[in-house]
Amino acid sequence: MKEIIIIILLLLNLAAIIEMRIKLTTKNKKQKGRRLLLDTSVLIDGRILDLAKTGFLNDELIITRSVMGELQLLADGDDSKKRTRARFGLDVIADLQKLEHITVTIWPDNRRTPEGVDERLLELAKDNDFALATIDYNLNKVAKVEDIVVLNMNELAKAIKTNILPGEKIKLKLIQEGQGKDQAVGYLEDGSMVVVENGKEQINKTVEIEIKRYLQTDAGKMIFAELTKKHVAKKTKSFKLSLPKIPTTKTVKKVVKKTTSKSSKSVSKTSKNDKKADNKKTKRINNQKAKNKKQPKETGIDYIIKTTSTKK
């Protein structure tokens, strides 16, 4: 009887020890995060390194030897583009291993994969409950069908990108003056600062603006915009410009009439004077003709006698 009681106590102690170990392992797994299996496309892309440096990635990164073998094969190939990208992927692995808060595990599978690297990764992820990091569209689809957790870097980039694009028009309330001349500042719902050119006169008003460009900095997003044509047109109407008066068509006609009348008068005077001179000439010619008619012409013997007498 005593032996049975001792055996029961030992079994209870063993069960307690096993339970404590299970709790510790689950606690460590929660602290470490998931075990994330990296494929070739993610390493060639390189953004996984930038994400790891920020501290958001707390998972254990697993890189298989088959993936490394594929990168080595591409790095030794003839295609220059693939060669440089594969070498960059190998450098990414080395840089990930240098990060202190990231655990990188090289999984010892076979380098040669007759079924293909993608098939090997799907099998490992399914058998060992790994999550899969990839930017391969087809592999992403197949992994989701196989009920494998997938981390797609493209989906992550799409989720954290700005929701406002250059050329988009939005309404914004301008709150204060900007640092530059005639600038005004407003804020979006997510707290992003918008600097509006030539918006100083529209402060404390809700205006329509057009996004020109934005900058992503460590402090957040900074967006630059301009007022739309509607508000610019209103602004120009408020100014009173003192421009010289432009002569109307009536005044132009009057000036033309005056100049034409003056020129016609001068022309008429000259024409009258010419007429008078012509009349005088005609009178002279007529008088001369009349005198010639009065004097009879000497012909025949009389004319010969007169000429001979004048010669003597």
What is the reported pTM? 0.51
Architecture of domain 33-160: 3-Layer(aba) Sandwich (3.40)
Residues 6+ apart with CB under 8 A from 170: 164, 208, 209, 211
The helix (run of H) or strand (run of E) holding residue 282 is helix 249-294
Q: Which of the four pLDDT bands, split at 50, 70 and 90, describes residue 312?
A: very low
Closest CA to 206 of 178, 240, 239, 170: 170
Report pLDDT digits (tens) over 46-94. 999 999 998 888 889 999 999 999 999 999 989 888 899 999 999 999 9
Report the distance separating Cα 310 and Cα 302, nearest Å.
12
Report the distance separating Cα 281 and Cα 221, nearest Å.
101
Report pLDDT digits (tens) over 196-254. 998 988 999 999 999 998 887 666 678 899 998 776 655 444 445 555 556 566 565 66
Res 22 pLDDT > 90? no
Closest CA to 67 of 142, 140, 129, 119: 119
pLDDT at 18: 83
Residue 239: strand, helix, or coil: coil
DSSP 8-class letter at 50: H
Report pLDDT digits (tens) over 187-196. 887 778 899 9
Q: How far is CA 111 from CA 62, 65, 69, 114, in A?
A: 15, 5, 6, 10
Burial class (CB in 10 A: 0-12, 13-18, 19+), 186: buried
Report pLDDT digits (tens) over 40-58. 999 999 999 999 998 888 8
Q: Say how many C-beta atoms besides its own lie within 10 A of residue 178's C-beta.
A: 19
Closest CA to 165 of 217, 134, 211: 211
Report pLDDT digits (tens) over 96-141. 999 988 899 999 887 666 678 889 999 999 999 999 999 999 999 9
Rg (CA), the chain: 53
Closest CA to 143 of 129, 126, 128: 126
Q: Where are the domains of the chain?
A: 33-160, 169-238
Res 309 pLDDT > 80? no
Average pLDDT in the 137-165 region? 85
Fold assignment, 169-238: OB fold (Dihydrolipoamide Acetyltransferase, E2P) (2.40.50)
Closest CA to 160 of 276, 71, 260, 56: 56
pLDDT at 28: 52
Q: How far is CA 281 from CA 94, 270, 276, 287, in A?
A: 121, 17, 9, 10
pLDDT at 255: 57
Average pLDDT in the 133-150 region? 92
- The domains spanning 33-160 and 169-238 adopt the same CATH topology: no
- What's the angle, vertex CA 93, arms to CA 84 and CA 42, rounded to 5? 70
Report pLDDT digits (tens) over 273-286. 666 666 776 777 77
Burial class (CB in 10 A: 0-12, 13-18, 19+), 197: middle
